[in-house]
Structure 1
Amino acid sequence: MSKQALIVGGTTGMGKATAELLLQDGVEVIIIGRNENNLASAARELAVHGKVKTIALDLNDFGAVTLFNQELKTEAPNLKYVVNAAGYFSPRPFLEHEEGDYDTYHNFNKAFFFITQAAGKILTANGGGSIVNIGSMWAKQAIKATPSSAYSMAKAGLHALTQHLAMELAEHNIRVNAVSPAVVVTPIYGAFIEQDKIEETLQGFNDFHPIGRVGRATDIANTIHFLLTDQSSWVTGAIWDIDGGVMAGRN
C-alpha cells in the first residue's frame, strides 16, 4: 500500500509545494483546506503528479475538527507523514488586538494539537512516521514594522509543541520537527495586501534578508520534504530557520 501524507492547509503556498514533492515520491496526499475553490484548484494542479484527496474543513470549527479526527483512520489508514501548514497573518498593534484576532490565531493551534494527536495514534500503529510544523521567524524575533503579538505567540507555542512531541513520540519511531520561515511569497499576505500585489509588495523586504531576497514556497517545501523523509532520520525536535539568514543578523 502507498504511504499517505496529511497536509493541513495544503491548497496554496508552502503546503501545496510540499504536496507536489511528496506526490513525486509516490506518496498519496490528503489535503485539508477551508476554501472549496482552492481545494478544487489544488486537486487539479497536483493530480498530474499523483493521487490527491481533498477534504474541506474549517479549523475554526472545533466540532468539525473533532468529527474529522474520528474519521481520520478511515481516510488515512496508511498515514506516514503529517504537515501542519495552515496559517493566517494580518499584522495589528497589540493595543488594538481584539478577542477575535487572538482566537483566529490560537484556534489553528488547537486544531493542530488534536489533529496531530489523532494522526499520531495512526502513525504509532503504522510503526512510525514524521511530522513537520510550519512555525515562523516572528515567534523568535519581534519586528516592529509588522506588529504580530498574537500570531507570534501562537507560532511560539507551535515551536514548543514540536519539541515536546519530539520527546514523547520518539519511542514510537515518530520524528517531529518544524521550520521557521521569514518573509515568503505566499497568499497568506492576502489578509492585508491585495493578492495581485503580494509579489510586488514583498520585494520591499528583499534587503531585510542577508541573502538578499524574500523566500519562495519551494524554498520551505524542500526543507519540509527533507525533514519528513529518511534523509533526516537522525533529526527530531529541531526548529530550522529557513529565513534567508534573518536570524543570523540583519542587513
Structure 2
Amino acid sequence: MTNKTTLIIGGTSGMGLETAHRIVAQGGHVTLVGSSAAKLDAAKAKLGALADIIRTDLTDTAAVEALIARIETETRHIHGLVNAAGVFAPKPFLEHEAADYDRYMSLNRATFLLTQAVARNMVAHGGGAIVNIGSMWAKQAVRATPSSAYSMAKAGLHALTQHLAMELAPHGIRVNAVSPAVVITPIYGAFIEPEQIEATLTGGFDGFHPIGRVGRPADVAATIQHLLSDNTAWVTGAIWDVDGGVMAGVA
C-alpha cells in the first residue's frame, strides 16, 4: 500500500484502526472517518503524518451528503476503501423498536452512498479495492446474541459486496468482504461495560470458536490488508470467513 490512499469509514477503533496502523506501517496514506472527535484525535496522534481525519455522523443524512460532496471533489486517487463502521446491540426480535432497526439501516444507507462516491473516484483514476466488514451473524444465528436487525443489515452488506464485484470489475475495482465472528473491539460497549469487554468475551465465547479463542482486531485487519493489496488481484466478490472456524462448525 506504499504511496496509496485508503479511506477507512469507521476507522477510529477496532478492526478499522488496526487496518490503518498496518497501512501506515507500509508507507500508505489513510483517511479515517468517525463520529468521535476524541477518538479521531487519538488515532491521528498515533498514526502521524500519513493519516488524515474527518468527523462525520453516519446516521445524519446532511453530514453524509457533505462527506459525499467532499469525496466527489477529491482530486487524489482513492486506491482503497474499508467500510468498517458498525454498531452491535443484541435485542430479542419481539422487543425491537423501529429506532433500533433504523439505526442499522441508516448505517447501510451511508455505506451504500459513500461507497458509490468512492467508486466514482476509482473509476476516474483507473481502479481500486473495496473491503466491507460484514459479520458471521449475517450467516448464522446465535441464541446468546439475538441480532435480527443487525444480521439483516450485515446480510445486505454481503449481498452488496457481490453485486458491486460484478458491476465494478470492468472498471478495475475489486470488492470483497470479511465475515468475522467474535472479535474483541469497542463495538460490544453497547451492552458490556468497556473495561469488562475482554474478560466477558474471552470467558463466554472462547469455546464458541473451534480454534479455541475469540479474535483480536489484528486477526481480521491482516486479511483486510491482504484483500486491499495486489496479492489478491484475482479475488473479487468473495466473503471471507475470518472467524476462528465458527462457520466450519461450533466446537
Q: TM-score, normalised by structure 1?
A: 0.97
Shift of residue 75, structure 1, vs aligned partner: 4.4
1:43 corresponds in structure 2 to 44
1:23 corresponds in structure 2 to 24
Q: Which amino acid is 2:222 matched to?
A: N
1:234 corresponds in structure 2 to 234
Equivalences for 1:4-153 in 2 at 5 Å? 4-47=5-48, 50-75=49-74, 77-153=76-152
Shift of residue 142, structure 1, vs aligned partner: 0.4
1:193 corresponds in structure 2 to 192
1:205 corresponds in structure 2 to 205
In 1: Cα distance, 2:217 partner to 2:4 partner:
23
Please give the secondary structure, in 2, of the residue aligned with 1:199: helix
Shift of residue 78, structure 1, vs aligned partner: 2.0
Shift of residue 2, structure 1, vs aligned partner: 3.3
Q: Which amino acid is 2:55 matched to?
A: A
Give the 4+ runs in structure 1 shifted more than 6 A. none
Q: Which amino acid is 1:150 matched to?
A: A
Bigger CA drift: 50-59 or 207-216?
A: 50-59
Unmatched segments (≥5 aa) in structure 1: none
Does structure 2 retain, via aligned residues, the 8 Å contact 1:2–1:78? no
Please give the secondary structure, in 2, of the residue aligned with 1:58: coil
Please give the secondary structure, in 2, of the residue aligned with 1:185: coil
Does structure 2 retain, via aligned residues, the 8 Å contact 1:91–1:147? yes
In 2: Cα distance, 1:202 partner to 1:76 partner:
43
Please give the secondary structure, in 2, of the residue aligned with 1:79: coil
In 2: Cα distance, 1:175 partner to 1:155 partner:
19
In 1: Cα distance, 2:245 partner to 2:3 partner:
37
1:168 corresponds in structure 2 to 167
User: Is residue 2:247 matched to residue 1:247?
Assistant: yes
Unmatched segments (≥5 aa) in structure 2: none
Does structure 2 retain, via aligned residues, the 8 Å contact 1:31–1:54? yes
- How much identity, in percent, do the aligned residues show? 59
Shift of residue 76, structure 1, vs aligned partner: 6.0
Shift of residue 17, structure 1, vs aligned partner: 0.4
Does structure 2 retain, via aligned residues, the 8 Å contact 1:4–1:76? no
Shift of residue 73, structure 1, vs aligned partner: 3.7
Distance 1:10 1:76, change over 3 A: farther
Q: Which amino acid is 1:210 matched to?
A: P
In 2: Cα distance, 1:209 partner to 1:201 partner:
15
Q: Residues 200-238 of structure 1, C-alpha deviation per residue, up to 9 Å, x if partnerless?
A: 000120000000000000000000000000000010000
Q: Which amino acid is 1:66 matched to?
A: E
Please give the secondary structure, in 1, of the residue aligned with 2:20: helix
Q: Which amino acid is 1:7 matched to?
A: I
Please give the secondary structure, in 2, of the residue aligned with 1:133: strand
Q: Which amino acid is 1:173 matched to?
A: G
